[in-house]
A and B are shown apart, each in its own frame.
Chain A
Amino acid sequence: MDDPLANAAARDNVLARVRHALRRTGPDPNRAAAAVAYVARHVHGPRSAMPADLAARFVERAQDMSSTLECVAHRRAIPAAVRRYVDALRIEGADRAGVCWPEFADLDWAGAGLQIECRPTSGGDRLGITGAWCAIAETGTVVVLSGADTPTGTTLLPDTHIAVVPATRLVSGMEEMFALLRAERGRLPRAINMISGPSRTGDIEQTIVLGAHGPFRVHILLLD
């Protein structure tokens, strides 16, 4: 039986039409070499000047995108900061519960009166506590990479996403994030998720409503 996904003919036809449109009879080695060389140069477009204080810019922009922020001095202070945030939101009782990434499993959540389990979520959890691979000052964006210890759903499915962003991981723009990826990872993960504030929609009469599908709230703990 023919494989319904066998596709070589379509591929060749499309590429032949592209080459015909570009007035090329076959692969043109010189032109192709120039196109490949362009990729290797990783040319930047015009950039806006970023202030020396990236943290200040990050905070301002993250707030613009409807994230809330708090600075915490050290890792151990994270559970208390989460508790304060949750209390201010008045998520009572059972709603002081949620899930976190493994990197925060060692923190004293119970001591802060929170029930935080270290596991991925399949929905139904109220709080999702994650780290960040880096954060982008230009746009107030939290960047997470997929991986065995960084389940993507924790940023997406809970009602509230709390992201711990180490100040040392602030970069100025998306270009610096890509450079960091090349330096530290080499190979791209399955997903780079850039999160700038809570999920929103303006699809009914252009009225902005937060929490369209993903979290209603994104709270960032900026770790010094």
Chain B
Amino acid sequence: MHVASMHFVRRAHDKLGDAGLQKNLGTFKTRFVGARARAITELDDFEGTREAAREIRQRALDNLDTYLEMFEKNATANGATVLWAETPADVNRLVLAIAAKHSVRKIIKSKSMVSEESALDHAIEAAGLSVVETDLGEYILQINDYEAPSHIVGPALHKSKEEVSDLFAKRHGTARKTDIGELCMEARQVLRQHYLSADMGVSGGNFFVAETGSVVLVTNEGNATLTTTLPRVHVAISGIEKIVPTMEDVATLMRLLARSATGQSISNYVDILTGVRGAGEFHGAGHMYFILVDAGRTGVLDSDLRAALRCIRCGACMNHCPVYQNIGGHAYGWVYPGPIGSVLTPMYVGLENALPLPHASTLCNQCGVVCPVKIPLPDLLRTLREKQVERGLRPWSERAGFRLWSWVAQRPALYALGTKIAARALRWMGGADGYIRKLPLAEGWTSGRDMRAPPGKTFRELYAQSKRN
């Protein structure tokens, strides 16, 4: 997918002014947050389960070589083929090679974020094959000329039903429907035909289980189940970090995944797929492939951001993020939005291509508090900010500003004088009511809010005064 993360500030501005989007985000805020808060109370020991989930994911990462090889061995023994992709381009090349090998003409897909990284759908179409996204949200985006997803769980959350109505009428050539149930029905009928006629199903992988060589797929729509049950070839694509050691680990993670994502105690369909169609079986793929994708994961593994790879893609961090809640996912400019996106995007597409993202956070730590695998997201964002400074990637004005500040701060007399003048100037600017309406060099701040003026004396002056009294 094209990276537009450098335009974060401009796009965030646009999104704040987009009345339709703001309305959609309004319902979004309340729903997910409340549902999660209720759902986690169903567990006797939610915090203990979170800690266990953190350990499970960390253990998998700290022993990734062992578990990857174990996965490969078991998957192969069960009749699947395990392939490795070093880059996003490799993913596309391998999928097309598999399709060619099995004379595939039509591919159906259930949601795979990794395939968004590589823009797989475009590669499939460029090769002259057809591809249909089956997750309703992804389908809506696909028929809208591959609009970018704005959320990792609900990719089309930003769209209103009116937009979907127009889109369906235009693309399906049917009468315009406005009832959400009828719209879903129409999509169901269109997609059913695709399921029945596809040669190959491409899925993501919520987890790869090392112990058994299985892939775990989690959906509410059941689209991953259909995608992996009906076509004769199944390709499961996911990052190498998605490995978990055991089935019991899956059970623990599943107690948190749906609760953190949508506030459900479990998703409607959880499938554990192992190997190919057995003797006498009517359904199921006769050929199964796994594509284990690096595409930047080993770089993160080899950094002080390794914890980010624990992510199970629940979306809770974005659901609870005050920045995401107000601008939605598009402003982040790549596949993964919200706090986890602000960590992963710079690591996957290059620090210099996503400079605004680590700063797109107030560091309020709502994300860190809700993350089911305890990723310290604010710490990681701070680490990325430091890396930007170390690599000299900050703008010259900021660097000059800090240099000036540090020069002054090392000269106590000068510092005292400077702050004395500044405090008084600000007091004067506050006027009679003590509020500053416009602050030179910081209009971005004061254009949206008034700033309380300081009382006119510096801390040092007040301290010295209190000593005297």
Contact = CB atoms under 8 A, between A and B. Distances in A.
Chief secondary structure at chain A's binding surface: loop
A74 interface: no
A191 B229 contact: yes
Interface residues of B, number: 113
A161 B161 CA distance: 29
B282 A46 contact: no
B159 interface: yes
Contacts of B355: none
Contacts of B250: 174
A212 B188 contact: yes
B52 interface: yes
Given A194-B270, A206-B154, A178 B251 contact: yes
A11 B273 CA distance: 22
A188 B154 contact: no
Nearest to A199: B222
A35 B67 contact: yes
Contacts of A199: 220-222, 268-269
A212 B98 CA distance: 29
Interface string B119-142: 000000000000000111100100
A123 B161 CA distance: 29
B31 to A, nearest CB: 6
A45 B296 CA distance: 30
Interface in A50-107: 61, 64-65
Nearest to B165: A204
Interface of A: 4-5, 7, 10-11, 13-15, 17-22, 24, 27, 31-32, 34-36, 38-39, 42-49, 61, 64-65, 120, 122-123, 139, 141, 146-149, 151-153, 156, 173-175, 178, 188-207, 209, 211-214
B435 to A, nearest CB: 39
B220 A202 contact: yes
Interface of B: 24, 27-28, 31, 42-45, 48-49, 52-53, 56, 59, 62-70, 72, 78, 81, 83-86, 90, 93-94, 97-98, 100-101, 134-137, 140, 154-157, 159-161, 164, 180-181, 183-185, 187-188, 191-192, 195-196, 210-212, 214, 220-223, 225-226, 228-230, 240, 245-252, 254-255, 262, 264-284, 292, 294, 298, 301-302, 306
Nearest to B51: A46
B255 A45 contact: yes
Contacts of A188: 78, 212, 214, 272, 274-275
Contacts of B67: 35
B251 A201 contact: no
Nearest to A191: B273
B278 A147 contact: yes
27 contacts: A5-B101, A10-B84, A20-B302, A22-B65, A27-B65, A31-B66, A36-B70, A43-B246, A45-B53, A45-B248, A147-B278, A147-B281, A148-B279, A156-B226, A174-B250, A178-B248, A188-B272, A190-B274, A190-B281, A191-B229, A193-B271, A194-B269, A196-B266, A199-B222, A202-B154, A204-B136, A211-B185
Given A18-B68, A175-B251, A207-B180, A46 B48 contact: yes
Contacts of B264: 65
A204 B184 contact: yes
Contact of B266 (A35, A46, A139, A156): A139
A5 B94 contact: yes
A220 B151 CA distance: 34
Contacts of A151: 281-283
Contacts of B160: 205
Contacts of A19: 65
A65 B277 CA distance: 29
A4 B96 CA distance: 9
Contacts of B294: 14, 17
Contacts of A202: 154, 220, 262
Contacts of A193: 225, 269-271
> Which among A49, A141, A209 has the highest number of chain B CB atoms within 10 Å?
A209
Contact of A35 (B31, B220, B245): B245
A203 B281 contact: no
Given A45-B49, A214-B226, 16 more contacts: A31-B66, A32-B66, A35-B245, A36-B70, A42-B248, A45-B53, A46-B52, A48-B43, A146-B283, A152-B225, A188-B212, A188-B274, A190-B276, A191-B272, A203-B155, A212-B136
B31 A206 contact: yes
Contacts of A139: 265-266
Contact of B196 (A24, A47, A123): A123
A209 B298 contact: no
A34 B280 CA distance: 40
B65 A190 contact: no
A64 B265 contact: yes
Contacts of A27: 65-66
A153 B98 contact: no
A212 B248 contact: no
B284 A48 contact: no
Contacts of B159: 204
A46 B54 CA distance: 13
A148 B64 contact: no
B270 A203 contact: no
Contact of A201 (B28, B98, B136, B245): B136
Contact of A146 (B180, B267, B268, B281): B281
A39 B211 contact: yes
A43 to B, nearest CB: 6
Contacts of B164: 204
Contact of B283 (A32, A153, A174): A153
A46 B45 contact: yes
Nearest to B157: A206
